A = this chain, B = another copy of it.
């Protein structure tokens, strides 16, 4: 708190602030796309978290909500056939949430729409875009 001023000079912090600002730009469009598929943000984020099957409690952790809310969300997604409950071999208490083929398909469809970069990114020169891409790749490879 006392070193807010010094933090502001930290390039990582500054970069992150800009990062969030850019992200804020696209939030409305993100909501539109989700709404087109009849999904609320938590439902979409649940879907998006299922790169591999996950215990329901783990989804609750990410979404920061009650387990019972995940039960409810899962019911909705299951009704649409996007998701299914599987048994966990190693622990019969847990149920694993997994994408169905349809769920996988829809998720990719949504992702494709969200992948369209916002104006701020698109306005960069192609060289800058490549530099940015490489930088972000490096960040994720840590």
Contacts and interface: CB of A to CB of B under 8 A. Distances in A.
Interface of A: 1, 4, 7, 11-24, 27-28, 31-32, 35, 41, 45, 48, 61-64, 111-112, 114-124, 126, 128-133, 135-140, 142
A121 B19 contact: yes
Contacts of A13: 115-117
- One complex includes copies of this chain to the number of 2
Contacts of A35: 64
A6 to B, nearest CB: 12
Given A121-B139, A138-B124, A140-B120, A19 B15 contact: no
A59 to B, nearest CB: 11
Contacts of A129: 11-12, 15
Candidate in A24, A61, A131 with the most chain B CB atoms within 10 angstroms: A131
A64 B31 contact: yes
